[in-house]
Chain A
């Protein structure tokens, strides 16, 4: 049963610390997405990769957030320095795009619950 995995599941840190969240997409998927979920804003798209290349990170605060895909089996989202307003659940999702450019459904990981004190 193929699944998206995310680590850590929970993270509590203090303001100013660096946070790194990791995601292992489903093998064979060529698209990876990072989302942030809060009660106030709902589900927000932070970054999007296709074939490991970043295509859209317009939803991400560039001064403190960075997203990378060092290889096809790992995506990372870093926050440095972290702030209390970054407290949220961060989801990674993966999917596949058809040759015609169609986007199939996305499969979500269980999320990382981040609390910045």
Chain B
């Protein structure tokens, strides 16, 4: 089975500060990992993905994520948060032999002015 855990329901950060949204996964074999963002009353938007190669992946809107195989983690990061980054963030995984993604429960990011 494949699974994703997002241990924080909500992350609060002040504008201008760095942010981290945590994600850990469980699959057998090498994972494909994704981050999506959902703004209110909108569908999910793709942010970035890790398939293979460099462990640090850069994505849209200044976000990046670091793949750590030993810790089975794929944390989302941004050096300087914006109020407009406030949204619901989903981590997703696909393991070998699976055709579909498994999404985490989501983490609400709130960036205060």
The docked-state distance in angstroms from the alpha carbon of A75 to that of B69 is 37
Do A43 and B100 touch across chains, with their CB atoms under 8 A apart?
Answer: no
Stretch at the interface among A13-21, A62-70, A79-87, A103-111: A103-111
> Is the beta-carbon distance between B101 and A103 smaller than 8 angstroms?
yes
Q: Which of A19-46 contact B (CB under 8 A)?
A: 33, 42-43, 45
Q: Which of the residues B99, B100, B105 comes within 8 Å of A42, measured between beta carbons?
A: B105
Contact partners of B45 in chain A: CB under 8 A: 108
- Count how many chain B residues have C-beta atoms less than 8 Å from C-beta atoms of the other chain: 20
Q: Mark B45-85, 1 if CB is under 8 A from A, else 0.
A: 11001010000000000000000000000000000000000
Residues of A within 8 A of B100 (CB): 33, 45, 48, 56, 103
Q: Give the shortest distance, in Å, between A72 (CB) and chain B (any CB).
A: 18
Residues in A neighbouring B99, C-beta threshold 8 A: 48, 50, 55-56, 97, 103
* A61 proximal to B (CB < 8 A): no
Q: Within the complex, what minimum Cβ distance (angstroms) separates A96 from chain B?
A: 13
Q: Nearest Cβ distance between residue A109 and chain B, in whole angstroms?
A: 5
Residues of B within 8 A of A43 (CB): 44, 90, 103, 106
Inter-chain CA distance A4–B51, complex, in Å, is 24
Q: How far is the CA of A108 from the CA of B90 in the complex (A)?
A: 13
Interface residues of A in 87-112 (CB under 8 A from B): 91, 93, 97, 102-103, 105-111
Distance in angstroms between the alpha carbons of A55 and B100 in the assembled complex:
10
| Bound Cα distance A45, B43 (Å) | 14
Distance in angstroms from A31 CB to nearest chain B CB is: 8
State the Cβ distance, B34 to closest chain A Cβ, in Å: 6
Listed by A's residue number, 13 A-B pairs whose Cβ atoms lie within 8 Å are A42-B104, A45-B101, A55-B99, A56-B100, A102-B32, A103-B99, A103-B100, A105-B46, A106-B101, A108-B44, A110-B41, A110-B42, A111-B42
Known: A4-B43, A103-B99. 4 other contacts (CB 8 A): A33-B100, A43-B106, A91-B43, A103-B32
